Amino acid sequence: MTRKSSKPACRVCGCTEHNACEEGCFWVRVEAHSKPLCSACSGTPRDVVEVCRRVRSVFRKFGIVIDTAGIANVVLGALLRRIEARIKADANNPDATWGGR
């Protein structure tokens, strides 16, 4: 049996409307001819670095010390998975319309 999947799925992580990313996401606007992309996977690796910096500065600002490592591990782990998926997807998809502009 061929399972026809007409549901949009994120081109990077494969999440769908009913199975969103663990930290939550929404569809971001993409070019009409390109595949869906969710908010968790949008942005360039450079953006992700920026996010990491912000997370770190928030920790500092509020003087969070306890559990910082645990929280950071979860956040950074999820981000790293995305970066890796993104880089892989980039390698398979030399399409010039792919993000990063």
R_g over Cα of the chain: 16
Instruction: Count interface residues toward Zn ion (CB under 5 A).
Output: 9
Minimum separation from the CB atom of position 94 to Zn ion (A):
20
Q: Is 12 in the site for Zn ion (CB under 5 A)?
A: yes
Minimum separation from the CB atom of position 21 to Zn ion (A):
3
Please say which residue, 72 or 85, places its beta carbon nearer to Zn ion. 85
Minimum separation from the CB atom of position 24 to Zn ion (A):
8
Among 36, 38, 79, 86, binds Zn ion (CB under 5 A): 38
Helix, strand or coil for residue 82? helix
Please say which residue, 20 or 55, places its beta carbon nearer to Zn ion. 20
First to last CA, the chain: 40
**Shortest CA distance to 100 belongs to which of 20, 12, 19?**
12
* Dmax (CA) of the chain: 56
Among 7, 23, 25, 57, binds Zn ion (CB under 5 A): 25
- Contact between 37 and 27 (Cβ < 8 Å): yes
For residue 98, the Cα-to-chain-centroid distance in whole angstroms is 14
Site for Zn ion, rule CB under 5 A: 10, 12-13, 15, 21, 25, 38, 40-41
